[in-house]
Structure 1
Amino acid sequence: MSTVLAVLILVTALYSSEIVNVQLSDGEILKGKLRLPENQKHPSRLVIFIHGTGPSTYLDRRKIGGVDFNYYDLFGEEFNRRGIGFFSYNKRGVAISDKPPLYYEIDREKFKKAVPSIETEDLSMAIEFLRKDPRLKKAKIILLGWSEGTIIASMLAGIKENRITALLLAGYAHENMADIIKWQFSGESSMVNLNKAFDKDGDRKISSAEYIGKDRAAAAMRTRGLKNAKFEQLDIDKDSFISAKDFGKILEPRYKLLSEKIEQNDGEWIWKNYFRVSTNWLGEHFQLEANKTRLLREKKPIFVFHGTDDASTDIYGVYRLSKSFAERGKTNLRTYVFKGHNHDLNFLSWAVRKKMPEGIRMIFDVSERMIN
């Protein structure tokens, strides 16, 4: 039903890559990049990266701190070095561009179809044509989902015909997207970053003495992050501490406004003032089953990678998932929590400073162990 059209082949000492086009059910094309280890004719594993929220390409090129890099090439090269194939793709309506800072161009009408149900269908077709590649006929397929991609990956794994071997879930999303957004505005998300700078005694709140601390992290957050706000301005409930309750009150008007714009179907405001997503995306996500119950039906191996400093998805979701699996006597879940790692597991220290963080290294190590 689908065909692979290789239009570009690049060869290095470690891997070969090709750009492929997958014809989708409605005639659109999913363009992706397939990277295979150069020294293996038939790799035993293929990792497919499932994107997080917003527009993305098979490269996700960025330039930060004078360093120009392609996000997915870094992953592809390391997986290939370990004998594992790697595939990434453009989301619907998104194409690669040479224009900074995001290096993509977007057809917003087509991007409106970048919703969970359609992305799941598109990626199922991608899996189908990858399996038809003679080099990959015997390859076991592993999904690496990040953030929203942890939701899409679990949906794909639930489709029997996809024959997914294992799930690697980073920046794990435990709840429904409506609940995730609510948590992000609850004050809990804000305190993840604030406590890292100020909370010296580990009680998950900030005293006046901690707030006026002289160390570099506290000074930077106070001056640059909080614009030199006085302690009394942030202690909304006047209990002598800055806590999630205070920031929940501070963010309440913004959350109310966002909720109103979603209710009004005001896609333009959401795109410009919240996130580059469509109202279609929000509406569908709000109706989806959450990973917290969907994953309980899975029997295949699941590996979760999460940072203690993740301000996008709640780390306590990881602990709740582990508890749910244990209560049911399920043994196919393994979780890894990394101190001081953020939502992207400190990816920029790898891309910019060439130092691979522990969390990202563990993703590669786990994938490699599945080969042996």
Structure 2
Amino acid sequence: MIRTLTEKEIEISGEKKIYGTLARPASAYTDEKFPAVLMISGSGPLDRNGNGPKGKYQLNVYKELAEYITKLGFITFRYDKRGTGKSEGDWISTGMWDLVDDAELAFKFLQNHPQVDRDKIIVAGHSEGTIIGTALSERQELNGLMLLSGGVGNLHEFTTYQRMLTYQELKNSKGIKGLLMRLLINEEKAETKTQKQTKKIIESNKDVYKILFFFKQPAKWIREHFAYNPRVGLKKVTYPVIAIHGDKDGLVDPSLLEELSSLVKGPSETHIIKDMEHGFRFQYEQKSMVNVKKMLKVLPSRPLNPDSLGVIESWLTKYFKADVSSDIKENA
């Protein structure tokens, strides 16, 4: 493994200026080319490193993944989505296809970079990024696709799974709390209410929809996500695809990944990693939706699950093995 890397901030001009970090394996040879990985983040106001605004939820998952992959001999590019970090725009009024546009600009940047091997550009999408990456694959000819903590399903399927898991978890609570939850929770009524509210949002022509005149919802984003089916894009894929999911991940239904091999035409792999949560870190506690926010307070202190890193390394090496010459030169 290459021990050192260099990082540089990049500005990409589009409808909104996007800022990101390009990481390269350390090399004294400026004409050396490397395979590249474009990282696409999950939902919400996450910056290039996977962190929330104003110091909230400092997870650094994309930073750590990028550093690991770069040291394998790959160029990586991760960027602040619209309205986060240094990038321009307002994240809550940004639609799904706006995010795809930005990902496409980042992909083209890598294609035109003098040190990137254009025949070895891989897109690694995390959570919502698995949907954005799949949509991008319908516009650009990728060479590989990594579906991290997501894949196959769309936003409607992901959020429905999360609600159902929450209902079940609350009703299975112990003691008085469990008894009350079993008496109070009616999944059918709750889903009917949710569907009515979602219908209002989808049928609106607003970018941002306010519930009770106060609670802002990303209407454009929801509307476009609900209309998109990633399976259509995956059926066009002829290159290697890998899906990696943690068995403690309560945000994405793992059964959806069973469809992957029947959808893509290229080689595919699906890995369920033991004791890994949505953000690729160790989680020994039970899978939970109720305690997600509580877990976010302790997860940053835990390392990325090494089993997931091993799977990533094996797959990247198998299909896009980097030229190890820079490592040899560095240690010569």
Same fold (TM over 0.5): yes
Where in structure 2 are the equivalents of 1:122-137 lying within 5 Å? Answer: 122-137=102-117
Partner of 1:304: 243
Pair 1:341–1:21, CA change in 2 (3 A): same
Conserved 8 A contact 2:240-2:319: no
Partner of 2:278: 343
Tell me the SS of whatever aligns to 1:297. Answer: coil
Please tell me the residue identity of whatever aligns with 2:26.
E
Structure 1 residue 62 displacement after superposition: 6.5
Conserved 8 A contact 2:39-2:125: yes
Conserved 8 A contact 1:345-1:357: no
Of residues 222, 239, 246, the one that matches 1:282 is 222
Q: Does 1:147 align with 2:86?
A: no
Deviations 1:31-77 (A, max 9, x none): 111000113743431111111111222233469xxx96633321222
CA distance in 1, matches of 2:320, 2:50: 28
Where in structure 2 are the equivalents of 1:305-320 lying within 5 Å? Answer: 305-320=244-259
Conserved 8 A contact 2:33-2:114: no
Where in structure 2 are the equivalents of 1:69-148 lying within 5 Å? Answer: 70-96=60-86, 107-108=89-90, 112=93, 114-138=94-118, 140-148=120-128
Structure 1: where are the runs of 5+ without partners? 1-11, 97-104, 196-204, 213-221, 223-227, 238-245
Pair 1:56–1:230, CA change in 2 (3 A): closer
CA distance in 1, matches of 2:315, 2:166: 29
Give the alignment's TM-score, normalised by structure 1: 0.68
RMSD: 3.6
Aligned residue-pair number: 300
Structure 1 residue 121 displacement after superposition: 2.1
Deviations 1:158-214 (A, max 9, x none): 22xx331100001124333233323332x24554xx49xxxxxxxxx95xxxx65xx
Deviations 1:217-266 (A, max 9, x none): xxxxx7xxxxx5043x33359xxxxxxxx673584476257436625666
Pair 1:118–1:336, CA change in 2 (3 A): same
CA distance in 2, matches of 1:319, 1:68: 32
CA distance in 1, matches of 2:212, 2:124: 28
CA distance in 2, matches of 1:304, 1:91: 23
Pair 1:367–1:58, CA change in 2 (3 A): same
Please tell me the residue identity of whatever aligns with 1:234.
M
Pair 1:133–1:294, CA change in 2 (3 A): closer
Please tell me the residue identity of whatever aligns with 1:81.
K
Conserved 8 A contact 2:239-2:266: no
Structure 1 residue 124 displacement after superposition: 1.7
**Per chain length, whose mean CA-contact separation is higher, i.e. which structure has more relative contact order (CA < 8 Å, sep 6+)?**
2
Pair 1:293–1:40, CA change in 2 (3 A): farther
Of residues 218, 234, 237, the one that matches 2:181 is 234
Give the alignment's TM-score, normalised by structure 2: 0.75
Structure 2: where are the runs of 5+ without partners? 283-295, 322-332
